[in-house]
Amino acid sequence: MPESELQSLAEQLSLRYFHKPFVHEAVYNPRLRTTGGRYMLGDHSIQVNPEVERVHGREEMIGVLKHELCHYHLHIEGRGYKHGDRDFRELLQRTGSPRYCKPLAARQARRVREYTCSVCRMKYERKKRVDTARYRCGKCHGKLEETT
């Protein structure tokens, strides 16, 4: 949906569930990776991950907007707007807003690198690349070679 529709949807949801107007900006932010949306304290805008609707559909998008609107209205009123605050949890319950967003993508398995000592054949598995010119075998101080 275009950003104008997102803005309109946020305004409608605010009036319907919170009985208060949403007078700030709702925009897409494609840089969001691990979250469905976020409320910005500084400018009171709501940013939504565009992948939410593509992956999970419109209902999940509505849930994300309602969740962020809970943060928005509580912050504007000077009440507890954080996830751990009682005001926030109660407003989530009253409006039927989800506490969490469904996962957007399965976490990619990281490549495991294997290094072998050229002297004693000791094997080392690492997630991050090892500088073989700088690091040596912990057992015999032999030279390490990447095997995979």
Q: Where do runs of H (alpha helix) occur along the chain?
A: 3-13, 51-56, 58-77, 86-95
- What is the separation of C-alpha 57 from the centre of its chain, rounded to a whole number of angstroms? 17
Angle between helices 58-77 and 86-95 (to 10 degrees): 140
Identify whether 5 is a catalytic site residue.
no
Interatomic CA distance for residues 148 and 144, integer angstroms: 12
Residue of 68, 77, 125, 146 with catalytic role = 68
What are the residues facing 115 on neighbouring strands?
124, 146
Backbone angles phi, psi at 115, to 5 degrees: -120, 145
How far is it, in rounded angstroms, from Cα 113 to Cα 120?
Answer: 18
Catalytic center residues: 68
